[in-house]
Structures are given as structure tokens and as C-alpha cells.
Amino acid sequence: MLEVKRKDNESFESLVRRFSKKLMQSGRVIQAKKIRYHTKPLNKRAQKLKALRREEINDKREYLRKIGKLDEYLENKKRIVVKKR
């Protein structure tokens, strides 16, 4: 825990400035920013399922583009959903 005590006749602004400087020098801010958006890596099974789903969606999108119905399909749906077999 970082602790800064107020000196005699020290203004609040200078106390906050000193605290901020010590906080930056401690490296806790950088560490917190690094781990803020950290997500656990997917396991192999989840990676494979995600890749298969992505491939099915791309195939369906390509098929709709070839037959000329992609635009009207996208207007009706926000996402392309592939039925599970």
C-alpha cells in the first residue's frame, strides 16, 4: 500500500502531486492497465469450434454473395446464423 503523509504547510495540490508521482514510480498503474483487459486463452477445443463456426459463416456469406442475395439477407438479419447439424 502506498502512503504519503502531509508535510507542514503543504497544500493539498502538492500532496496529490507527490502521491501521483510516487504512484507512477511504483509501477502499480502500469501493472493495473496491463491486466485490465486480460482474458484467459481459449483451450484447443474452443479454438477449433470457433474456427469451424467462422468458416461456416464465411461459406454462407460467400454463397449468398454469389447468388446475389447477400444485401437483402443482411438487411433482414444483423448476424448470419448457421444452423447446427
Q: pLDDT by residue (tens digit) across 1-23?
A: 788 899 999 999 999 999 999 99
Does residue 84 lie within any of the structural domains?
Answer: no
pLDDT tens digits for range 19-41 = 999 999 999 888 998 888 888 89
Q: What is the mean pLDDT of residues 48-74?
A: 89
pLDDT band at 75 (very low <50, low <70, confident <90, very high): confident
Tell whether 83 is covered by a domain: no
Asked whether residue 48 carries a pLDDT value surpassing 90, the answer given is: yes
- Whole-angstrom CA distances from 69 to 33, 62, 82 are 45, 10, 16
56 and 27 together in one domain:
no
Q: What average pLDDT does the structure give for the chain?
A: 87
Number of domains in the chain: 2
User: Which residues constitute the domain of residue 54?
Assistant: 44-76
Are 64 and 33 members of one domain? no
